[in-house]
Amino acid sequence: MNITGDSDGKRLKKTGCCEKLLGILSMVVIILTFPLSVWFCLKVVREYERAVVFRLGKLLPGGAIGPGLFLVMPCIDTFVKVDMRTVTFDVPPQEILTRDSVTVAVDAVVYYRVHDATAAVTNVVYADGATRLLAQTALRNVLGTRSLSDIVSERETSLDEATEPWGIKVQRVEIKDVRLPPQMQRAMAAEAEAIREARAKVVSAEGEMNASRSLKEAAIVLGESSGALQLRYLQTLNNIAAERNSTIIFPIPIDILSALRSNSNSSSNML
């Protein structure tokens, strides 16, 4: 014989009867005090709000109510308004030891909003305060597993998994500022300067190599034709004359010099 089940059933029946009786009495009060009771029974929630109604301590079926008008039974109904807009708050500076053993002070901004008003009221005592404390501790734990370069480059993290049972959606956690110790700043500046100098030397060496290849190809082209060398010589003289107008230049064709050289060689052979 299940004595416990029978006692629970009787208790539930008594509770249901009491609820019905109190509900009837509340309706009688509304009717007797009409229309004055309307001002106390009708409530309004704005477009960005929702109302979570409890009747005799029990959550009404259907979830949160709103926006607009809704009826509250006197003496037996209570309700809690929940703001559904996005909330922004600054996380206090956190001293964090990164994965590569660098101590940094991090300032962050958290953006969150309530997406389930019923869960935000029934599953956590103070949703805003709980979210803020969770953001501080989670930020310290998450950033402690990243290196300094990752923190500086990726300025966003997530807290959705922890706040989902509370009916809260953490939209973004942005790192606002990362402060390094002065000695670390000097070391990073020296490292960056050395890297830039190394890159500049590499670029200069590549330029010299490309220039030498171009000069080699130009020498091969000029060596194939004596006329090309003569034209290049005349172009160089033209450029010099354009830059220095007071200079008088008497160009001597290279063919004359080569003819003179060949004549001198032939005369010396005859001697």
Whether 100 and 164 map to the same domain: the answer is yes
Question: 209-265, pLDDT tens digit by residue?
Answer: 888 888 888 777 777 776 676 777 777 767 766 665 655 555 565 565 566 566 555
Residues 6+ away with beta carbon under 8 Å from 94: 105, 106, 107, 108, 136, 139, 140, 143
Element (H, E) at 263: helix 254-270
Q: Give the integer Cα–Cα distance in Å for 13 and 148.
A: 64
> Domain range spanning residue 54?
14-82
Quick check: is 62 in a domain? yes
Whether 187 and 241 map to the same domain: the answer is no
Quick check: is 270 in a domain? no
Mean pLDDT across the chain, nearest whole number? 76
Question: 85-109, pLDDT tens digit by residue?
Answer: 988 888 888 777 777 777 788 888 8
Whether 176 and 105 map to the same domain: the answer is yes
Whether 185 and 253 map to the same domain: the answer is no
Q: Give the integer Cα–Cα distance in Å for 158 and 50.
A: 26
Q: What is the DSSP letter of 60?
A: P
Quick check: is 4 in a domain? no
Q: Give the integer Cα–Cα distance in Å for 170 and 236.
A: 71
Quick check: is 233 in a domain? yes
Question: 45-64, pLDDT tens digit by residue?
Answer: 898 889 998 888 888 888 88
> How many other CB atoms are found less than 10 A from the CB of residue 250?
5
pTM exceeds 0.85, yes or no: no
Whether 39 and 49 map to the same domain: the answer is yes
Quick check: is 191 in a domain? yes
- Total domains present in the chain: 4
- Can you read off the two tokens belonging to residue 263? 């004549």
Task: Return the sign of the alpha-carbon dihedral for residues 32, 35, 37, 42.
Answer: positive
Cα Dmax for the chain: 149
Whether 191 and 231 map to the same domain: the answer is no
Question: 114-158, pLDDT tens digit by residue?
Answer: 888 888 888 888 888 888 888 888 777 777 777 777 666 665 666
